């Protein structure tokens, strides 16, 4: 019988799983080095995990001058997670494997302002989960635009959804009977980047999203900054133009009011580039066709964003800035204004900071939310709290059952 895992070992065991999930197969020696643990302990842990059927031995690698390493890999059927992106008018749902790869995706209508929205949401998730599969469902990650007090309890404040003090986490947990982790959507993306993306190679970076709103997540020393009340990264409301246009937050000249999708569309209509019924797609098409008024609108937005991000780079000194979001579809036009403004606004010693713009799919948001679940082992009893422990328990228990 496997050793009864306590809270501490459980975390370390999960770290092994997370590492294998995030970085692919690795040898015991590699794992020990990367997780800053002694080889001796790794022998112990992997013995347990092999016994529990959570990992398996793969082929040996060719020797690099010494004994060849026996690689270890995740047993893919060990677990899966569901990620949900909540928007004002729809939900995006994905199911991911333990390695973060999407196995199923769906988009359904949703009315965030409905009186029954909480039960609607639960029903949509329940429908998506469907019948029990052989692979156990570890939990549900939910990404929302707004502040979340703590991942565990999941109380949400969101101007965009019109939610105040909504106990999203508790309700879903009760309705679904599964661990539920709620987080700000950009923060979730940052966790996903840290786990599966560019962020793997960096301890300090910024994730910036452009689209309807503008958001950021800050990663310092490998973990995401949440702030006092989970509200860090709200760069959409940075004041950038004194006396500028009014923002939906009530203030004037916010970054979002300058470079958000609505602002660009409004400017496009104002200047006659697109018609009154057209949206951001038409504006982008116009720019793609080479319409100079359209490219100017994106260029101006790039300029404003560039100056604002330069400020963030000064404030936080990141290794890299990652730009994501729906707005990146038109990045070629943004960059025209962004690059010169961004570089010129930086102190000479920071001009070299790379900006990575990643391709974007609609389900990326939901994939980020799913990463909340997959990543819980990382934060040792940290933000995810009780729900994180529960996710770990589910992962370990399903295996333990097949073994006793």
- Name the site residues for DNA (rule: CB under 7 A): 3, 5-6, 8-9, 11-12, 27-30, 36-47, 60, 62-70
> Closer CB to DNA, residue 10 or residue 261?
10
> Closer CB to a copy of itself, residue 138 or residue 208?
208
- Contacts of a copy of itself in 329-368 (CB under 8 A): 344-350
The item of DNA, a copy of itself, none sharing an interface with residue 6, based on CB under 5 to 8 Å by kind, is DNA
Rg (CA), the chain: 23
Q: What is the rounded distance in angstroms from the CA atom of residue 86 to the CA atom of residue 83?
A: 10
Closest CA to 240 of 325, 307, 173: 307
> Closer CB to DNA, residue 60 or residue 281?
60
The item of a copy of itself, DNA, none sharing an interface with residue 8, based on CB under 5 to 8 Å by kind, is DNA
Closest CA to 365 of 179, 185, 178, 219: 185
> Closer CB to DNA, residue 4 or residue 289?
4
- Contacts of a copy of itself in 225-264 (CB under 8 A): 225-239, 242, 249-251
> Closer CB to DNA, residue 37 or residue 105?
37
Contact in structure between 221 and 238 (CB atoms under 8 Å) = no
The item of a copy of itself, DNA, none sharing an interface with residue 216, based on CB under 5 to 8 Å by kind, is a copy of itself
Query: Pairing mode, if any, of strands 163-167 and 214-220?
Result: unpaired
Nearest distance in Å: CB 287, DNA:
51
> Closer CB to DNA, residue 65 or residue 348?
65
Nearest distance in Å: CB 61, DNA:
8
> Closer CB to a copy of itself, residue 159 or residue 176?
159
Q: Which of 11, 178, 218, 395 binds a copy of itself (CB under 8 A)?
A: 218
The item of a copy of itself, DNA, none sharing an interface with residue 310, based on CB under 5 to 8 Å by kind, is a copy of itself
List C-alpha distances in Å: 31 to 36, 95, 131, 144, 370: 8, 27, 35, 34, 24
- Contacts of a copy of itself in 280-319 (CB under 8 A): 307, 310-312, 314-319
> Closer CB to a copy of itself, residue 231 or residue 279?
231
The item of a copy of itself, DNA, none sharing an interface with residue 311, based on CB under 5 to 8 Å by kind, is a copy of itself
Nearest distance in Å: CB 132, a copy of itself:
39
Q: What is the rounded distance in angstroms from the CA atom of residue 224 to the CA atom of residue 382?
A: 11
Torsion, Cα of 209, 93, 83, 118 (10° steps): 100
The item of DNA, a copy of itself, none sharing an interface with residue 239, based on CB under 5 to 8 Å by kind, is a copy of itself
The item of DNA, a copy of itself, none sharing an interface with residue 269, based on CB under 5 to 8 Å by kind, is none
| Residue 204 interacts with a copy of itself (CB under 8 A): yes or no | yes
Residue count of the chain, please give it: 404
Q: What is the rounded distance in angstroms from the CA atom of residue 283 to the CA atom of residue 126?
A: 38
Closest CA to 384 of 144, 169, 126, 202: 169
Q: What is the rounded distance in angstroms from the CA atom of residue 46 to the CA atom of residue 72?
A: 9
The item of DNA, a copy of itself, none sharing an interface with residue 289, based on CB under 5 to 8 Å by kind, is none
Q: What is the rounded distance in angstroms from the CA atom of residue 384 to the CA atom of residue 154?
A: 10
Three-class DSSP labels, 294-334: HHHHHHHHHHHHHHHHHHHHHHHCCCEEEEECHHHHHHHHH
The item of DNA, a copy of itself, none sharing an interface with residue 147, based on CB under 5 to 8 Å by kind, is a copy of itself
Q: What is the rounded distance in angstroms from the CA atom of residue 94 to the CA atom of residue 366?
A: 6
Nearest distance in Å: CB 276, a copy of itself:
30
Contact in structure between 80 and 97 (CB atoms under 8 Å) = yes
List C-alpha distances in Å: 398 to 77, 223, 337: 11, 29, 53
Nearest distance in Å: CB 347, a copy of itself:
5
Nearest distance in Å: CB 350, a copy of itself:
7
> Closer CB to DNA, residue 65 or residue 243?
65
List C-alpha distances in Å: 188 to 20, 219, 254, 278, 362: 20, 11, 23, 31, 15
């Amino acid at each position: 019988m496997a050793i009864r895992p306590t809270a501490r070992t459980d975390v370390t065991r999960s770290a092994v799983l997370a590492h294998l999930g995030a970085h692919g197969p690795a040898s015991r020696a590699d794992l020990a080095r990367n997780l800053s643990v002694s080889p001796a302990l790794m022998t112990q842990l992997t013995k347990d995990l092999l016994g529990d059927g959570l990992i398996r031995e793969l082929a040996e690698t060719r020797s690099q001058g010494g004994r060849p390493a026996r690689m270890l890999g995740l047993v893919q059927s060990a677990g899966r997670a569901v990620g949900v992106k909540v928007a004002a008018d729809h939900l995006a749902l994905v199911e991911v494997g333990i390695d973060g790869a999407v196995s199923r995706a769906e988009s359904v209508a949703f009315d965030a302002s409905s009186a029954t929205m909480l039960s609607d949401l639960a029903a949509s998730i329940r429908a998506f989960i469907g019948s029990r599969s052989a692979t156990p469902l570890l939990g549900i990650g939910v990404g929302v635009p707004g502040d979340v007090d703590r991942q565990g309890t999941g109380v949400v404040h969101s101007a965009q959804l019109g939610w105040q003090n909504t106990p999203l986490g508790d309700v879903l947990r009760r309705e679904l009977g599964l661990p539920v982790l709620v987080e700000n959507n950009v923060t979730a993306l940052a966790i996903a980047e840290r786990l599966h993306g560019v962020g793997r190679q960096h301890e300090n970076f910024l994730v910036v999203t452009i689209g309807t709103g503008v958001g950021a997540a800050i990663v310092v020393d490998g973990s995401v900054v949440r702030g006092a009340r989970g509200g860090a990264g709200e760069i959409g409301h940075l004041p950038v133009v004194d006396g500028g246009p009014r923002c939906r937050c009530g203030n004037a000249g916010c970054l979002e009011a300058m470079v958000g999708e609505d602002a660009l569309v409004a400017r496009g209509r104002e200047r006659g580039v697109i018609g009154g019924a057209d949206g951001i797609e038409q504006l982008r098409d116009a720019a793609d066709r080479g319409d100079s008024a359209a490219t100017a609108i994106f260029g101006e937005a790039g300029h404003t964003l560039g100056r604002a991000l330069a400020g963030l780079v000064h404030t936080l000194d990141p290794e890299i800035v990652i730009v994501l979001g729906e707005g990146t579809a038109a990045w070629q036009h943004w960059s025209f204004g962004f690059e010169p403004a961004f570089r010129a606004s930086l102190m000479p010693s920071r001009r070299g900071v790379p900006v990575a713009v990643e391709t974007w799919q609609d389900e990326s948001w939901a994939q980020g939310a799913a990463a909340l679940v997959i990543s819980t082992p990382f934060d040792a009893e940290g933000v995810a709290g009780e729900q994180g422990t529960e996710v770990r328990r589910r992962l370990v228990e399903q295996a333990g059952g097949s073994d006793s």
